[in-house]
Structure 1
Amino acid sequence: MKNQFFGDLRDLFKYDLILNILEKNDSLQHLTFIPMLNKNDSSNEGNKRDFQKAKIHNLPGTHNEKLVEFLEPYKDVKANERDINSIESYFNSKDHKISIYKGQKGLYFEEQVRKEYFSEIPRELLTNSLIFIDPDIGLEVKYSREKHLLYSEVKNLYDRMDQNSTIMIYQHFPKFKKHPDYLHKRFLELKEKMGVLPLYTSDNEIIFFFLVKNETTKNSLQRVLDCYENEYERLKKVKRNMFIYSVPLQKIHQ
Structure 2
Amino acid sequence: MNAKYFGDTRDLFKYDLITSLVKGFRGRIDRIVIVPMLTKYDPNFKGNPGCRNTDLIACFRRLRRTEEVDHYYDELKSYIKELKTDINKKKVRIRIEKSEIFSKQKRDEYFGGIYENFPTAALIFIDPDTGIKEKNFTEKHLSFSELKKFYDQLDDESILMIYQHYQRRRPPAPDEPKRKFADVLTLTGAAPVIIADNTVMFLFLTKNQELYDTLTGILRNYARIEQAAARKKNSERSIDVIVSA
- Scaled by the length of structure 2, the TM-score of the pair is 0.76
Matches within 5 A, 1:135-150: 135-150=128-143
Letter in 2 for 1:205: T
Secondary structure at the residue paired with 2:28? coil
The aligned residue for residue 183 of structure 1 is 177
The aligned residue for residue 73 of structure 2 is 85
The aligned residue for residue 87 of structure 2 is none
Letter in 2 for 1:92: K
Larger radius of gyration between Structure 1 and Structure 2:
2
Are 1:10 and 2:10 an aligned pair?
A: yes
Mean Cα displacement is larger for which, 87-96 or 224-233?
87-96
Q: How many residues align?
A: 208
Letter in 2 for 1:7: G
Identity of aligned pairs, percent? 35
- Measured after TM superposition, the shift of residue 253 of structure 1 is 3.8
Matches within 5 A, 1:34-53: 34-43=35-44
- Alignment RMSD (CA, Å): 2.5
Letter in 1 for 2:204: F
Letter in 1 for 2:103: E
Letter in 2 for 1:214: N
Are 1:212 and 2:210 an aligned pair?
A: no
The aligned residue for residue 102 of structure 1 is 98
1:194 to 188, 192, 200: 188
- The structure whose RCO (Cα within 8 Å, separation 6+) is larger is 1
Name stretches of at least 5 consecutive residues in structure 2 with no aligned partner. Answer: 46-62, 85-91, 231-235
Please list the CA deviations of residues 129-181 of structure 1 after superposition, one character each: whole Å capped at 9, or x if unmatched: 00000000111153111100011111111111210100000011112275333
Give yes or no for contact 1:123–1:160 (8 Å, CA) kept in 2: no
- Scaled by the length of structure 1, the TM-score of the pair is 0.74
Distance across 1 between alignment mates of 2:73 and 2:7: 11
Secondary structure at the residue paired with 1:149? strand
CA separation of 1:146 and 1:223: change in aligned 2, threshold 3 A = same
Distance across 2 between alignment mates of 1:34 and 1:230: 28
Task: Tell me which stretches of 4 or more aligned residues in structure 1 moved more than 3 Å.
Answer: 78-81, 122-125, 234-238
Name stretches of at least 5 consecutive residues in structure 1 with no aligned partner. Answer: 45-77, 241-248
Give yes or no for contact 2:36–2:98 (8 Å, CA) kept in 1: yes
Identify, as 1 or 2, the structure richer in helix.
1
The aligned residue for residue 55 of structure 2 is none
CA separation of 1:122 and 1:79: change in aligned 2, threshold 3 A = closer
